[in-house]
Amino acid sequence: MKRALTLLAPAALAACLACPPALAQAAAPVSPVPAAVSSAAQQFTLKNGMQLIVQPDRRAPTAVHMVWVRVGAMDEVDGTSGVAHALEHMMFKGSKRLRPGEFSRRVAALGGQENAFTSWDYTGYYQQIPASRLQEVMQLEADRFAHNQWPDAEFTKEIEVIKEERRMRTEDNPRALLMEQLYAASYVAFPYHRPIIGWMGDLDALTPDDVRAFHRQWYVPGNAVVVVAGDVDAAQVRAWAEKTYGSIAARALPVRKPRPEPAQRGIRRVEVKAPAEQAYVALAFHVPRIARVDEGMTAQDRDALALLVLSAVLSGYDGARLERALTQGASRVADSANSGASVLGRGPGLFLLTGVPAAGQSAEAVEHALRAQVARIAQDGVDPAELERVKTQWMASNIYERDSVMNQAQQLGSYWVLGMPLDAEDRLLAQLRTITPQQVQDVAARYFGDDALTVATLRPQPLDGKPPRPAPAPGARLH
């Protein structure tokens, strides 16, 4: 399982699945970033339409190899929820050349580590290996991308692993169950209303041919990018990519139908009853997403950036507003309180406020206190020094993240999924630097009304006293 990062993509709220890298930084002027890290990426188109991005970084003899496919849970149809994630599992179960499980054994024999991740927006596969073994890993990954193949019996076993993953990550986790219900209620038409792992009833009915058909439809060269970061030569990687991935036959993609989310016309409320020690409340407001990072940025793009800054002001650092106002002092109402702006994704955005009531306090009191903090910013604004602190912390965090070749590859792949350029991170950070206190105050006043709001409340039930669920069988892939 890839680490879940907050603030941006809807996938950040998936209980067990990955999401795009979080933005970090902004301040004036931009702090220097080593040139070998910030500007060396090159992008190529292979002869079959597959994209290749190479980011040389010579600081250590290692490389990260990733394949990102622009398909995820949002591309499923009703009745087959969870099929994108199920296919991710089945990609480890064999090809025309490899037996089930042999892919992972071969990567390990090369001295590498590997895994995969699924979100609403994309599916990805990665290996971190000694740079000298990159060509061999590219051959392995290209083979299973083009020729994923396994017997029905392997699916029959693996779907039970996936169901157990759903039980562990969602059904036995009250807050994850609440968030699943929050998304199901927040989105009516857009497919973010379906859980990435799938509804249990759909998993019960899913067939091997459903998974094979999904692979056939979407695992098309023109719908994927290979990302390589590390101690590599771009020309050599390109040559290897043409021999491996470039030999896969080009095929047409299915037509993607627009599924716009209709305007919400009043507050929605969801209650979830589950065994738990504490209540929990989550508020989701419909907000715009960032669609462009170039000169064509719209007013909505700018609003989405300001909402990112607003979230950081509320809970982006130790002692931020929500922590100070809700969890400290004699009048504290919450044990914890947080915010998040999911504004980088293929679909519409949400702004979330969450909190855990303190002893003797109700979920309703926390809901009121969370909204009061946003209303306070809408009325009184933010201090320029407060905004500068947020931007400075973003800057420092981003520079640290660029020390990791894995983070570099993640950023390049996730921005490619969104159709953004190689320098999208730098462009976004430059734009974030320009957000003013007035813009933050303005979005706080415009996007947090009842008509955009869905509230989900966890009502704790007595703990059932059941023993913990047994650990998965050795070798089971939970991600």
Would the pLDDT of 28 be above 50?
no
Instruction: Provide the whole-model pTM.
Output: 0.89
Would the pLDDT of 121 be above 60?
yes
- Sign of the Cα torsion 453, 454, 460, 465 reads negative
pLDDT digits (tens, 9 = 90+) for 398-415: 887 888 999 999 999 999
For residue 477, the model assigns a pLDDT of 52
pLDDT digits (tens, 9 = 90+) for 338-365: 999 999 999 999 999 999 999 999 999 9
For residue 472, the model assigns a pLDDT of 47
Give the position of tokens 């990665």.
126
Of 116, 138, 130, give the one whose Cα is nearest residue 413. Answer: 116
339-371 core/surface letters (b: 16 or more CB in 10 A; e: else)? bbbbbbbbbbbbbbbbbbbbeebebebbbebbb
Of 197, 151, 192, give the one whose Cα is nearest residue 173. Answer: 197
Would the pLDDT of 90 be above 50?
yes
Would the pLDDT of 463 be above 60?
yes
Of 68-77, 134-143, 291-300, least confident by mean pLDDT is: 291-300
Look over the chain and give the mean of its residue pLDDT values, rounded to a whole number: 89
Check if the beta carbon of residue 225 is closer than 8 Å to that of residue 416: yes
CA distances 294 to 213, 290, 417, 430, Å, are 37, 11, 16, 11
Q: Which residues share a beta bridge with 67?
A: 125, 226
Would the pLDDT of 13 be above 70?
no
Cis peptide bond prior to 29, omega within 30° of 0: yes
CA distances 206 to 78, 84, 181, Å, are 11, 11, 22
Catalytic residues: 88
Would the pLDDT of 397 be above 90?
no
Would the pLDDT of 242 be above 60?
yes
Q: Where are the domains of the chain?
A: 10-25+34-247, 268-461
Query: What is the per-residue DSSP string for 102-144?
Result: HHHHHHHHTT-EEEEEE-SS-EEEEEEEEGGGHHHHHHHHHHH
Mean pLDDT (whole number) for 440-444: 98
- Domains 10-25+34-247 and 268-461 belong to one CATH topology: yes
User: For the domain 268-461, what is the CATH code?
Assistant: 3.30.830.10
- What superfamily does domain 10-25+34-247 belong to in CATH? Metalloenzyme, LuxS/M16 peptidase-like (3.30.830.10)
pLDDT digits (tens, 9 = 90+) for 176-225: 999 999 999 999 999 999 999 999 999 999 999 999 999 999 999 999 99
Would the pLDDT of 31 be above 50?
no
Tell me the pLDDT band of 30, cut-offs 50, 70 and 90. very low
| Total Cβ atoms within 10 A of residue 265 | 8
Check if the beta carbon of residue 225 is closer than 8 Å to that of residue 411: no
Rounded to whole angstroms, the Cα distance separating 372 from 355 reads 13
Tell me the pLDDT band of 39, cut-offs 50, 70 and 90. low
Helix, coil or strand: residue 39: coil
Residue 461 DSSP one-character state: E
Would the pLDDT of 396 be above 90?
no
For residue 12, the model assigns a pLDDT of 32
